[in-house]
Structure 1
Amino acid sequence: MKFYLPLIAVASLSLLAACNKNDEPEVVGGPADPMAAELANAAPVELPPSVKANKQYRCKDNSLIFVDYMSDDKTAQLRTEKGGTATTLKAAEVGQPFTAEGFEVSGAGDDVTITVPGKGAQACHV
């Protein structure tokens, strides 16, 4: 039994020594990127704004208007129905009214004035 242990150890070491005997050179870093210069000089990517607040307004004519205010404070999404299509409204500067295609939301917070095509401007509140 004492004779077999050294023989097994020598056999297993010789098997391990034969591993990874590859004559091919190992490539470190991979091939050159053909767009590396373009990517280095590209303008930074700006992510779209996220939703900052969701408001549901009841207007003077008893209609509901749904407005999602975005984190950039220059964009809002307006819907006239809960699951309806959103209209993107933009403000020229922070604090200015959000406008687009006949829609306008002016004011801030819980009391605003909303204009929708086909209706005049009306006071709306949360």
Structure 2
Amino acid sequence: MPILPPTLRSAPALAGLLLALAACNTKPTTITADEVPDDQKAALANAKPVELPPAILATKTYRCADSSVIYVDWFSGDKSANIRTAKGGEPTAVKSDEAGKTMTADGGFALDGSSTASTIKATVPGKKAQSCNA
């Protein structure tokens, strides 16, 4: 009996393995998103639209009637702004329900004006309302 090289000795086993694999289902499997249940589908369909936070339109420095300086970050929508009484100080957010109305915050902050106006009316704690120029 002749001696076969190792690759030919395993040929019958390999042929049996290939025959077994050929008997498997050869239909391709298709996976679609519809087959996966979506437990949030109803909640997302009924969710209210998302409103992005306002973007900063302008950052301006104003000199007020009493020679004090305030720093204002104006936000898009003309309903909110940040006021700082010192450069790099902690901002105080002032808001209004309607664009063009006085924006206020707790503690006595108030702001009238817009990002495009060169003169605003500002009130900060401990001071009365005063005119401020950019």
**TM norm. shorter chain > 0.5:** yes
Partner of 1:39: 44
Distance 1:52 1:22, change over 3 A: farther
Once structures 1 and 2 are overlaid, which stretch shifts more, 44-53 or 23-32? Answer: 23-32
The change in CA–CA distance for 1:107 and 1:27 in structure 2 (over 3 A counts) is: closer
- Whichever of the two has the greater Rg, that structure is 2
Taking structure 1 as the reference length, the TM-score comes to 0.74
| Residue among 58, 63, 68 paired with 2:63 | 58
Give distance in 2, aligned partners of 1:31 and 1:22: 23
Structure 1 residue 107 displacement after superposition: 3.4
The unaligned stretches of length 5 or more in structure 1 are 1-17
Query: 2:89 and 2:28 mapped to 1: Cα distance?
Result: 62
- Where do 5+ consecutive residues of structure 2 fail to align? 1-21
How far apart are the structure 2 equivalents of 1:79 and 1:90?
14
Within the alignment, does 1:120 sit opposite 2:128 as a pair?
yes
Q: Structure 2-normalised TM-score?
A: 0.70
Aligned-residue Cα RMSD (Å) equals 2.1
Q: Percent identity?
A: 46
